[in-house]
Structure 1
Amino acid sequence: MIDKERFIQNCIEAVAEGRGALRELVTEAVSDSAQAMAQLGEPTHAGITPLYRSKDLTIINFVWAPNMSLMPHNHHMFSVVGIYSGREDNVFWRRTDGSIEAEGAKSLGVGDVAVLGRDTIHSVLNPIGKMTCAVHVYGGDFFAPEKPRSLWDHETLVEQPWEVERVKSLFAEAEARFNAWKA
């Protein structure tokens, strides 16, 4: 990974070029796990740490708690995901009459990058017993999207409004559950 500030500036300059240009930058950023960790910091807690935010670009450092699962959700913007530590398993979903159903999956390990389209619905699992770290670059404002986002209940697959504060609390709850289990 190049210097964190340079990476952010490169993404700002590349966002107009689209997902392909951002994919190249994220691929470079996660190609050296140790350097990415040095630039972004050793994880101490699970969570969502914004590195940059504007109406057309958000860069986030995600740290997934061990064995954490995040319910199906959408973004209404493209995203580029790069893993620099651990593993992230994605299940992809499609809408049906009144619900969603699984239609595929992709497992990402260190150095892997995935591009998700505007209409992608996915759930995320950290299947391992340690923190997973990933850089996510979004083609919009992740925290205040132009179009309301949705999430789906894990068990019932009922659609609900997506709320960033609820999602942030899920990261803290997953970390607390893991720490309690570990103790």
Structure 2
Amino acid sequence: MPNALISTAPDFSQPIAVLKHCHDKIRQQLSTLQNLLDHVPQHGSDAQAQQAAHNVMRYFNQSAPHHHADEEHDLLPMLRATATGEDADLLQKLTPEILAEHQQMDRLWLSLNLQLTQIADGAPVQAAPLLSPQDVQQFSAIYSAHMEKEETWIAPMAKRIFNDQQMQQLGAAMQQRRGIPA
């Protein structure tokens, strides 16, 4: 009997649910970044800030690249191969936007990762903030709009047009990317 008190992630037999779960995790990490903007100026790089920085870094250095690869190498190509009519037209418009947003987020992450490394390492607060509010706001805004686009258009399209075999193929590719045995 499953424990209803413990939240579990969907398994790879439900790849679109896994992608949505990743989005939920991203939203949690973006919230932590926002919290760090308030915390660090008041408390410095204390143990709480260090742990929060480590958590955000772990997610965006490990899980987020897998998520982007899921979309770039599997989901979007599979959709392009399957979609017809209005779906194909929409994909032709959205795919370049999604890929460009991934690149934007990756570039912003490079800067944020360096900033968070200082916090994670316990660097003292200087006159200049350790964490750039502008970088955090821009990163959060791009990610939020990006996830909204995928949840509004891409995920529903995949659920609607993929057959069971395609869903299994997508889930298997995502699972393999993470090194999780079948």
Pairwise same-fold verdict (TM > 0.5): no
> What's the TM-score once normalised by structure 1's chain length?
0.25
If asked which structure has higher relative contact order (CA below 8 Å, sep 6+), I would say: 2
State TM-score, norm by structure 2.
0.25
Whichever structure has more strand as a proportion of its residues is: 1
